[in-house]
């Protein structure tokens, strides 16, 4: 009987070494040490032995059962850790796969241009001043030295509202009046960016709405040379040090004298092309010395104070820089266009 027990022990230990899954382990367990297993079966026959042999066999059976139970639980933890490793391997992430990129929003090309412009003017000490898009006739025209029926009003085709005398600003120049009335008699040095509106046919070259960046400097002793020097400094930073520029005589009711500022064409470097209409020059701004009437309307004494002003259209330079041929893309909200910037 002892011999039988030793064989069960030996066979079970050998079998255990080849068990690779919990199911087989369970089956082997009930077959050998389980309630109805081989060891139990051997012990059932213990009654056939002589009484003084029984304790030795019983004791040995218990030892073997204990030893095997330990061997089973050791095998069980080996199988479990092996299965864990296998499932980790199967579910593992392949870190060499290319990632999926997340679509991010971008700044509108006009906003990007405006920010570049703000930065340059900020470095020259010009603060941003915000003024309303909806203004009265008085501020958009009259106080800028264009009384009712003044022919210069025809320079801008205007969107009027249903309320008498209230309109969408046709230019950012009325912002000069708001700013001067707020600050006079203190000196001011500001830029006034914003949307302007014109009642015009929409074409590849003209839109109902576009940005302007107005500038205004008022103080004592400001002269035309300050205007020229300041605009030259701006153009050098914005268009590059080498870019030539010129000041042409012009006329605006709110400045005297008035100029228009051109830069050498950035596409043909002044050679002449269809963008500059074979002149070699591109207009970038209107400007001039603030008219004494406008200074007075803003609250400054024109015998003491003087100033310069300018107005430019940033979309145009964005179009030139990126080779955009149709201004309607700016407000068409087509992502295929916007995502390129």
**How far apart are CB 106 and ligand DAH at their closest, in Å?**
29
**How far apart are CB 198 and ligand DAH at their closest, in Å?**
9
**How far apart are CB 194 and ligand DAH at their closest, in Å?**
12
Does the protein bind ligand DAH through residue 137 (CB under 6 A)?
Answer: no
Contact residue for ligand DAH among 153, 171, 189, 316 (CB under 6 A): 171
**How far apart are CB 102 and ligand DAH at their closest, in Å?**
41
Q: Please identify, using beta-carbon distances, which residue of 37 and 174 lies nearer to ligand DAH.
A: 174
* Rg from Cα positions in the chain: 45
**How far apart are CB 114 and ligand DAH at their closest, in Å?**
17
Task: Count Cβ atoms below 10 Å from residue 21 Cβ, excluding itself.
Answer: 10
Contact residue for ligand DAH among 175, 286, 298, 314 (CB under 6 A): 286
Task: Count Cβ atoms below 10 Å from residue 113 Cβ, excluding itself.
Answer: 23
Task: Taking the CA atoms of 37, 41, 44 and 49 in sequence, report the sign of the dihedral they define.
Answer: negative
**How far apart are CB 173 and ligand DAH at their closest, in Å?**
4
Distances (CA, A) of 102 to 81, 99, 195: 38, 9, 32
Does the protein bind ligand DAH through residue 255 (CB under 6 A)?
Answer: yes
Of residues 204-243, those binding ligand DAH (CB under 6 A): 214
Name the strands in the sheet holding 281-290, side by side, starting at the edge strand that comes first in the sequence. Answer: 127-128, 188-197, 209-220, 305-312, 281-290, 255-264, 245-252
Contact residue for ligand DAH among 194, 253, 288, 307 (CB under 6 A): 288
The one-character DSSP state at 160 is: B
Cβ within 8 Å of residue 27, ≥6 positions away:
none
Does the protein bind ligand DAH through residue 298 (CB under 6 A)?
Answer: no
Does the protein bind ligand DAH through residue 65 (CB under 6 A)?
Answer: no
Cα 1 from Cα 3, distance rounded (Å): 5
**How does strand 188-197 pair with strand 209-220?**
antiparallel
Q: Please identify, using beta-carbon distances, which residue of 37 and 215 lies nearer to ligand DAH.
A: 215
Q: Please identify, using beta-carbon distances, which residue of 214 and 264 lies nearer to ligand DAH.
A: 214
Phi, psi values for residue 331, rounded to 5°: -115, 15
Does the protein bind ligand DAH through residue 310 (CB under 6 A)?
Answer: yes
Instruction: State whether residue 248 is helix, strand or coil.
Output: strand
Given the rule CB under 6 A, which of 221-229, 262-270, 304-312, 328-336 is the region that contacts ligand DAH?
A: 304-312
Given the rule CB under 6 A, which of 86-94, 203-211, 233-241, 309-317 is the region that contacts ligand DAH?
A: 309-317
Contact residue for ligand DAH among 19, 57, 287, 327 (CB under 6 A): 287
Does the protein bind ligand DAH through residue 173 (CB under 6 A)?
Answer: yes
Does the protein bind ligand DAH through residue 198 (CB under 6 A)?
Answer: no
Cα 291 from Cα 252, distance rounded (Å): 9
Q: Which residues of 182-201 are buried (b: 16+ CB within 10 A; e: fewer)?
A: ebbeeebbbbbbbebbbeee
Contact residue for ligand DAH among 252, 281, 305, 329 (CB under 6 A): 252
Does the protein bind ligand DAH through residue 113 (CB under 6 A)?
Answer: no
Place of tokens 């999926």: 100
Q: Which residues bind ligand DAH (CB under 6 A)?
A: 171, 173, 214, 252, 255, 286-288, 309-311
């Amino acid at each position: 009987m002892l011999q039988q027990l030793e064989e069960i022990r030996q066979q079970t230990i050998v079998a255990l070494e080849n068990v690779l899954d919990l199911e087989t382990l369970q089956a082997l367990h009930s077959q050998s040490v389980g309630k109805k297993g081989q060891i139990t079966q051997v012990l059932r026959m213990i009654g056939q032995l002589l009484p003084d042999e029984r304790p030795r066999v019983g004791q040995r059976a218990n030892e073997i059962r204990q030893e095997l139970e330990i061997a089973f639980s050791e095998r069980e933890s080996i199988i479990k850790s092996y299965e864990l490793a296998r499932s980790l391997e199967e579910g593992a992430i392949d870190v060499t796969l290319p990632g999926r990129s997340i679509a991010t929003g971008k700044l509108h090309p006009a906003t990007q241009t405006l920010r570049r412009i703000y930065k340059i003017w900020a470095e020259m000490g010009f603060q941003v001043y915000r003024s309303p898009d909806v203004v009265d006739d008085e501020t958009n025209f009259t106080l800028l030295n264009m009384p009712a029926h003044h022919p210069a009003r025809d320079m801008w085709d205007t969107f009027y509202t249903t309320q008498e005398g209230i309109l969408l600003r046709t230019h950012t120049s009325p912002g000069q009046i708001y700013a001067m009335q707020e600050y006079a008699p203190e000196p001011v040095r500001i830029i006034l960016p914003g949307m302007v509106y014109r009642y015009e046919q929409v074409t590849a070259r003209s839109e109902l709405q576009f940005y302007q960046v107005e500038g205004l400097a008022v103080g004592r002793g400001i002269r035309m040379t300050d205007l020229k020097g300041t605009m030259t400094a701006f153009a050098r930073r914005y268009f590059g040090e080498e870019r030539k520029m010129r000041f042409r005589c012009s006329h605006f009711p709110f400045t005297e004298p008035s100029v228009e500022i051109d830069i050498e064409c950035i596409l043909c470097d002044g050679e002449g092309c269809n963008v500059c209409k074979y002149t070699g020059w591109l207009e970038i701004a209107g400007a001039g010395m603030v008219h004494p009437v406008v200074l007075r309307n803003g609250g400054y004494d024109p015998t003491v104070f003087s100033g310069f002003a300018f107005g430019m259209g940033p979309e145009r330079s964005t179009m030139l820089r990126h080779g955009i041929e149709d201004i309607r893309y700016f407000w068409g909200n087509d992502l295929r266009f916007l995502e390129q910037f």
